[in-house]
Amino acid sequence: MAGAIDLSALKARSEAANRPAPPPPPGGQPAGGAFVVDVSEASFQADVLERSLQVPVLVDLWAEWCGPCKQLSPVLERLAHAAGGAWILAKVDVDANPRIAQAFGAQSIPMVVAVAGGQPVDAFSGAQPEPQVREWIAALLDAVRDRMPAVAQAEAAARGGAPAEPVEEPEDPRFTAAEDALEQGDYAAAEAAYREILNVEPANEQAVAALAQVRFLARAEAVDPDAVAKADAAPDDVDAQLAAADAEIAMDGVEAAFSRLVSTVGRTAGDDRDRVREHLVGLFELFAADDARVTAARRALARVLF
């Protein structure tokens, strides 16, 4: 289903309504403190597209006159609250917001569409039994958990009832070996060490962040001192834009690097667009998820993508 639906018209209507709303913090509640939100055409970009950059958003297409909807919606709401923010339920009244139903190609309701990373990734129609809904949601989370750290954070918090205070843990010899290699400037060995950790623990956030740092340091050390000037002279050269963004990050020009790649995403397509977007997302991983520069760049990226 990914890529098969054009959500650009909804994006345009959202922007025109000028109702900005931040995405939920990793592992935390979305704006308003609820895991269930009522979505309109005006709030679609903020409440669905932008939030789906952090955790999956399940869009529940329903109507007051729909009997099966009244069976399914309470199940979804109960599961959303129990999930504690690992996913968000976005409820859409199709009578009040027909363009959203049209954008998703809804032939009947109830219909539930999962959106992750700003794209529809799966869907089902009809009032499914709760065990089947649980199984569908579990498969969805399994598919996105590795690339959406906020999912695992929310799940851990939900299991514990509340985020636990950090506890100092014994030094992990696997990380010690990777850090030793990094101190010696052996980026290949450090990367291999972190990848070995992730092969065993794909959701290890420390290793994910460290791997991103190592890969960037290796690229930054080899970057051309004239990379920015060369990229400015060749705006259509994707490789030049990627190298320039690395150079700008290395020189603490974080906002300039993010802006460069967001603009490049906006004027490319196909494989080139995917390369630039993936590079930009990799640069996001160098910073805290709540860094204001990352948050602003994610919003800008969502606008050019949708």
Q: Which residues are catalytic?
A: 66, 69
Question: For residues 138 and 144, what is the distance between their CA atoms, to the nearest angstrom?
Answer: 10
E strand or H helix that includes residue 182: helix 173-183
Q: What angle do CA 7, 76, 301 make, to 5 degrees?
A: 30
Question: For residues 231 and 40, what is the distance between their CA atoms, to the nearest angstrom?
Answer: 41
DSSP codes of every residue in 101-144 = HHHTT-SSSSEEEEEETTEEEEEEES---HHHHHHHHHHHHHHH
Question: For residues 185 and 179, what is the distance between their CA atoms, to the nearest angstrom?
Answer: 10
Residues written for the chain: 306
Cβ neighbourhood burial of 156 (10 Å; 0-12, 13-18, 19+): middle
Q: List the structure tokens of 230.
A: 């060369």
CB atoms closer than 10 angstroms to residue 274: 12
Question: For residues 19 and 179, what is the distance between their CA atoms, to the nearest angstrom?
Answer: 45
CA 280 to chain centre: 12
E strand or H helix that includes residue 93: strand 88-93
User: For tokens 């032939």, what's the residue?
Assistant: 107
